[in-house]
Amino acid sequence: MDCKVATSIRWLFALGLAIALLMIYRSQVAGDALALLTKGWLFAEGGVWVPFGNPAATSTGGFVPGGFTALVVGLPLKLWMDHRAPTLLILLGHVIAYVLMDRVVAETLGSRARIVLLVVYWLNPWRLYQSAWLDNSNYVFLTGAVHAWACFRQRSKPNWFHSALLVAAVGLTAQLHLSAVLLVVATVLLWWRGYSKPHWPGVALGVLVTVVSLIPWFIEVVRQPEIVPGRSGTLGNGLLLIWPVLKGSVYWLRYASLYTTRGMNVYDFTPAFGADADRLLAPLFTNLGLGLLTLTLIPVLVANVRCFREYRKSADGLTGRAWLRGYAIWILVAIIVSNALSPSSPMWWHNLIILHAAVLPMVLWFDAVLRGSRASLARRGLMAWAVLSALLLLGMAFGSEQYRHGGREAWGWALPRNDRVVEDLNLTRYGITIDPKQGKYPINNNYLYRTYVVPFECPPPSAGG
Quick: pLDDT tens for 122-177: 999 999 999 999 999 999 999 999 999 999 999 999 999 999 999 999 999 999 99
What's the pLDDT at 54? 82
pLDDT value of position 406: 87
Q: Which residues contact 205 (CB under 8 A, 6 or more apart)?
A: 160, 163, 164, 167, 168
Q: Write down the mean pLDDT value for the chain.
A: 88
Q: Taking a C-beta distance cutoff of 8 angstroms, is the pair 283, 326 a contact?
A: no
Beta bridge partners of 400: 267
Torsion of CA 223, 226, 230, 232, to 10 degrees: 150
**Beta pairing, strands 63-65 & 413-415:** unpaired
pLDDT at 350 over 90: no
Give the separation between CA 184 and CA 14, rounded to whole angstroms: 33
Q: Reply yes or no on whether the pLDDT at 442 is more than 80.
A: no
The yes-or-no verdict on residue 202 having pLDDT over 50 is yes
Query: Tell me: the pLDDT tens digits for 33-71?
Result: 988 999 999 999 889 999 988 876 544 567 889 999 999
Beta strands in 329-451 (DSSP E): 413-415, 432-434
pTM for this predicted structure = 0.93
DSSP secondary structure letters along 144-159: HHHHHHHHHHTSSS--
Q: pLDDT digits over 264-277, tens only?
A: 888 999 999 999 99
Q: How many Å apart are CA 302 and CA 371, to the nearest integer?
A: 17
pLDDT category, 98, cuts 50, 70, 90? very high
Say how many C-beta atoms besides its own lie within 10 A of residue 328's C-beta. 26
Q: What is the pLDDT at residue 236?
A: 52
Q: Give pLDDT, residue 224.
A: 84
Reduced to 3 states, what is the DSSP secondary structure of residue 52?
A: strand
Residue 191's CB is within 10 A of a number of other CB atoms, namely 15
Q: What is the pLDDT of residue 445?
A: 62
pLDDT greater at residue 293 or residue 144: 144
* Nearest one of 301, 319, 286 to 400, comparing CA atoms: 286
Give the sign of the dihedral formed by CA 97, CA 101, CA 104, CA 106: negative
pLDDT in tens, 246-268: 777 889 999 999 999 888 888 99
For the segment 390-416, the average pLDDT, to the nearest whole number, is 90
Would you state the pLDDT for residue 294? 86
Q: What is residue 341's predicted lDDT score, i.e. its pLDDT?
A: 80
What is the pLDDT confidence band of residue 464, given thresholds at 50, 70 and 90? Answer: very low
